[in-house]
């Protein structure tokens, strides 16, 4: 038996199912194979009409934003991309890799930046996002998964936000400890002033900057870097829950649904290596391949270089290879 295999075997004794846990910690983001869905009929689906109406209006507004693209200045288009990247990082580097998975440590200034960027993305506050996301990893593809992809593409993508949560999602979410989040002053501050911060960061700043600095019309600025950019970030994030749980290879673990999806990786600035990510949720790069198609990993490495982040967790290469051998679907390009 090679050293890597011995290491892998040791890890096996500590982990619940596919989590490959670092043995020192029982983690809330590791898959829990002891949970069983309740027998009998499923609870009725209760539609939240307020959300249906708001999401419909938002997407109509975004389509109108597409129509306005030819009338926007080059600076406004560039600003829209900047806002897309900042709000994307607020989700990927912030709510996801830092606060949900604790895959690296961030200094106070970086945490403040990421929380502000997170408000620009307007996808529920960091506390709620991270809680839902840990429940997603712990109970993937079951009733307790907030965006259970077994319920189909539409549900995993946006439908889960348009109906009341399954009771098991609420029950399991309440059982998570979340002490790290409760003790993080930046997370709690953002939660306290969430609505105001969203108004300022998601709508006011994207609209006012192009108007004030280069004379763009408020109308175009509201619909392009505002609504269209917001809607694109939302859909890019949702694709991780929908497309990356349905289409693609499973080189690391063929027994789970999450997959490697290049299109999602590109649109969600590095979050589409989803078979890898669910197999090794504590890896800060969410991928075996470092910077490849992974703007978020580039950003975290830049922050480390500037001394604003540290302690990035990575899975040893031998462990990844051993896992590919043991549970992969054979699609891994070795070498």
CB of 222: closest distance to Zn ion in angstroms? 32
For residues 222 and 314, give the distance between their C-alpha atoms in angstroms, rounded to a whole number. 40
- Chain positions 258 to 287 lying near Zn ion, rule: CB under 5 A, are 258
State which residue, 90 or 258, has the beta carbon closest to Zn ion: 258
Q: What is the per-residue binding string for Zn ion in 243-262, x denoting contact by CB under 5 A?
A: ---------------x----
For residues 19 and 27, give the distance between their C-alpha atoms in angstroms, rounded to a whole number. 9
Instruction: Give, as one character, the DSSP assignment of residue 202.
Output: I
Find the residue with minimal CB distance to Zn ion: 258
State which residue, 251 or 258, has the beta carbon closest to Zn ion: 258
CB of 156: closest distance to Zn ion in angstroms? 9
CB of 35: closest distance to Zn ion in angstroms? 16
- Chain positions 163 to 192 lying near Zn ion, rule: CB under 5 A, are none
State which residue, 72 or 268, has the beta carbon closest to Zn ion: 268
* 237 touches 206 (CB < 8 A): no
Cα→Cα distances 45→38, 41, 141, 150, 276, Å? 16, 12, 17, 15, 32
Tokens found for residue 178: 């979340």
State which residue, 94 or 258, has the beta carbon closest to Zn ion: 258
Q: Which residues contact 244 (CB under 8 A, 6 or more apart)?
A: 258, 259, 260, 261, 264, 271, 272, 274
**319-324-325 Cα angle (round to 5):** 100
CB of 140: closest distance to Zn ion in angstroms? 6
Instruction: Give, as one character, the DSSP assignment of residue 327.
Output: H
Number of residues that bind Zn ion (CB under 5 A): 1
For residues 30 and 47, give the distance between their C-alpha atoms in angstroms, rounded to a whole number. 30
- Chain positions 302 to 331 lying near Zn ion, rule: CB under 5 A, are none
State which residue, 222 or 284, has the beta carbon closest to Zn ion: 284
State which residue, 115 or 140, has the beta carbon closest to Zn ion: 140
- Chain positions 120 to 149 lying near Zn ion, rule: CB under 5 A, are none
CB of 126: closest distance to Zn ion in angstroms? 14
Q: Are strands 309-310 and 105-106 parallel, antiparallel or unpaired?
A: antiparallel
CB of 238: closest distance to Zn ion in angstroms? 11
Catalog residues that contact Zn ion under the rule CB under 5 A: 258
């Amino acid at each position: 038996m090679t050293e890597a295999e011995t290491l892998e075997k040791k890890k096996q004794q500590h982990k619940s199912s596919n989590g490959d846990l670092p043995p020192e910690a029982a983690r809330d983001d590791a898959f829990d194979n002891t949970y069983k869905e309740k027998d009998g009929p499923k609870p009725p689906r209760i539609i939240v009409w307020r959300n249906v109406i708001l999401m419909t209006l938002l997407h109509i507004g975004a389509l109108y934003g597409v129509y306005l693209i030819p009338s926007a200045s080059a600076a406004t288009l560039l600003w829209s991309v900047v806002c897309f990247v900042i709000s994307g990082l607020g989700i990927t580097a912030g709510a996801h890799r830092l606060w949900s998975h604790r895959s690296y440590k961030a200094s106070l200034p970086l945490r403040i930046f990421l929380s502000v960027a997170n408000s620009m993305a307007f996808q529920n506050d960091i506390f709620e996002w991270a809680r839902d996301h840990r429940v997603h990893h712990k109970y993937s593809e079951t009733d307790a998964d907030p965006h259970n992809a077994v319920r189909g593409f539409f549900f995993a993508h946006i439908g889960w936000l348009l109906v009341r949560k399954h009771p098991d999602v609420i029950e399991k979410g309440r059982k998570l400890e979340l002490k790290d989040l409760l003790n993080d002053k930046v997370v709690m501050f953002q939660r306290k002033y969430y609505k105001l911060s969203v108004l300022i960061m998601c709508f006011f700043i994207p609209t006012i900057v192009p108007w004030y600095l280069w004379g763009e019309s408020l109308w175009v600025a509201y619909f392009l870097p505002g609504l269209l950019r917001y809607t694109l970030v939302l859909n890019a994030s949702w694709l991780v829950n929908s497309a990356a749980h349905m289409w693609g290879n499973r080189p690391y673990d063929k027994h789970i649904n999450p997959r490697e999806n290049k299109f999602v990786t590109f649109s969600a600035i590095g979050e589409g290596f989803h078979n890898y990510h669910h197999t090794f949720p504590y890896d800060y790069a969410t991928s075996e391949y470092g910077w490849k198609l992974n703007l978020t990993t580039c950003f975290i490495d830049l922050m480390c270089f500037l001394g604003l982040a540290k302690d990035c967790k990575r899975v040893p290469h031998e462990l990844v290879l051993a896992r590919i051998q043991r549970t992969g679907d054979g699609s891994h390009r070795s070498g």
